């Protein structure tokens, strides 16, 4: 097996990692994904091998997720029971996913894990990002004066299935009961993906929304609990084999602890479809960023004709620039939603005070 290569931390790289962590924290607090789908590509773009980026992300994820979940629990958005149960099943997925990553590295080296992580990103982001974007647009155009959350047809069916001895009641779905047998595979898939590419929220959040019927606001908050549980276990598994770069984890964590609180506050001022729309936007831009790198990884593994150095450099620059666009646009969208939400809330309060009759 190749020797583990850690990133050379120059002052400029440290500043970039801190800023990336800050934006990743905002994304984490806002959409509940842990923010790793921007952090992992960012580390890779800065020169960290994929397996080190994944392991270090998991190491920084669980303390950040703990902070975010506590913050959002104060607003009543967290279903702790559902989060812990999904987290337990996710641990099994983490164990399996870590095995996949290490096996690929044994056979193909760091170039193999770079290709694997990027390819999985492209596929998962295309499927999940496209689905969430479609649902966000439908929710926006279909708004009424009634409750914004509408239980999907699949979730209604899942809630209607009764399997004796497996039913559990959850507050996030209106105190209805769901069989643990539906939650188990969702948790396992979340953990497997998290250990493979450091992103579990891609499965966890949509699964809670569309399969279990959890409102988007509560799903993104509850996913932070899942991220904490599986992140702690995944960190120990990867650290045992020496893949965790604690320096990267601590720098990103320092930035993200500030950002996660801003993102969490933002969710209290935005509508359900806005969370979905921003989530989809960031996913699809990151997809393009990873897509640019695929030919480079194929070339490095000898699967295609070796690319000229200038072409590889151009594709790498395009990938990094697109990733920067995802970070900037994601942070801007969250801050804009927060500012608009606060302004609308203050206006509503002032209107209410003005309309209140004097004693």
How many of the other CB atoms lie within 10 Å of CB of 119? 17
Q: Which two tokens stand for residue 242?
A: 């020496």
Distance CA 204, CA 224 (A): 10
Q: Mean pLDDT lowest for which of 42-56, 237-251, 258-272, 330-344?
A: 258-272
Mean of all residue pLDDT scores within the chain:
84
What residues contact 212, with CB distance under 8 A and at least 6 apart?
A: 82, 155, 158, 159, 170, 172, 173, 178, 182, 183, 186
pLDDT value of residue 47 = 85
Using a pLDDT cut of 70, give the percent of the chain over it: 92
Tens digit of pLDDT for each residue in 179-220? Answer: 999 999 999 999 998 888 887 777 888 889 889 999 888 888
Q: Which two tokens stand for residue 319?
A: 């990938």
- What letters, b where the CB count within 10 A reaches 16 and e where it falls short, cover 156-188? eebbeeeeeeeeeebebbeebebbeebbbebbb
- For the chain, the structural domain boundaries read 11-351
pLDDT value of residue 187 = 93
For residue 144, what pLDDT band results from cuts at 50, 70 and 90?
Answer: very low
Select the highest-mean-pLDDT range: 26-30, 243-247, 326-330, 349-353.
243-247
> Of 204, 250, 256, whose CA–CA distance to 24 is shortest?
256
pLDDT value of residue 194 = 87
Q: What is the mean pLDDT of residues 135-156?
A: 70
pLDDT value of residue 261 = 77
Tens digit of pLDDT for each residue in 29-66? Answer: 776 555 677 888 888 888 888 899 999 988 887 877 78
Q: Which two tokens stand for residue 73?
A: 């629990």
How many of the other CB atoms lie within 10 Å of CB of 217? 23
Per DSSP, the three-state class of 168 is strand
Tens digit of pLDDT for each residue in 68-84? Answer: 788 888 888 899 999 99
């Amino acid at each position: 097996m190749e020797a583990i290569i850690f990133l050379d931390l120059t002052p400029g790289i440290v500043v970039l990692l801190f800023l990336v962590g800050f934006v990743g924290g905002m994304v984490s607090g806002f959409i509940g994904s842990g923010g790793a789908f921007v952090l992992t590509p960012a580390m890779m773009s800065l020169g960290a091998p994929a397996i080190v980026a994944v392991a270090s992300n998991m190491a920084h994820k669980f303390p950040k997720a703990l902070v975010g979940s506590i913050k959002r629990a104060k607003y009543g958005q967290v279903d702790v029971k559902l989060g812990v149960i999904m987290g337990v099943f996710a641990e099994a997925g983490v164990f399996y996913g870590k095995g996949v990553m290490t096996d690929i590295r044994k056979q193909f080296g760091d170039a193999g894990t770079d290709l694997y992580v990027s390819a999985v990103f492209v596929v998962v982001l295309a499927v999940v990002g496209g689905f969430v974007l479609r649902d966000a647009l439908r929710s926006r155009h279909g708004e009424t004066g009634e409750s914004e959350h509408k239980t999907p047809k699949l979730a209604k069916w899942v809630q209607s299935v009764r399997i004796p001895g497996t039913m559990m009641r959850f507050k996030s779905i209106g105190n209805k009961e769901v069989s643990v047998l539906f939650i188990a595979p969702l948790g396992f898939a979340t953990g497997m993906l998290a250990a493979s590419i450091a992103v579990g929220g891609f499965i966890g959040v949509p699964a809670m929304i569309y399969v279990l019927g959890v409102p988007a606001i509560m799903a993104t908050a509850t996913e932070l609990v899942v991220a904490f549980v599986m992140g702690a276990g995944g960190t120990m598994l990867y650290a045992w084999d020496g893949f965790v770069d604690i320096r990267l984890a601590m720098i990103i964590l320092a930035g993200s602890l500030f950002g996660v609180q801003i993102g969490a506050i933002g969710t209290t001022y935005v509508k359900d479809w806005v969370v979905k729309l921003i989530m989809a936007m960031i996913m699809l831009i990151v997809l393009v960023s990873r897509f640019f790198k695929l030919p480079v990884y194929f070339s490095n593994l000898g699967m295609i004709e070796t690319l000229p150095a200038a072409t590889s450099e151009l594709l790498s620059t395009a990938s990094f620039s697109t990733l920067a666009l995802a970070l900037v646009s994601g942070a801007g969208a969250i801050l804009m939603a927060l500012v608009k939400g606060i302004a609308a809330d203050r206006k509503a309060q002032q209107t209410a005070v003005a309309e209140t009759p004097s004693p």
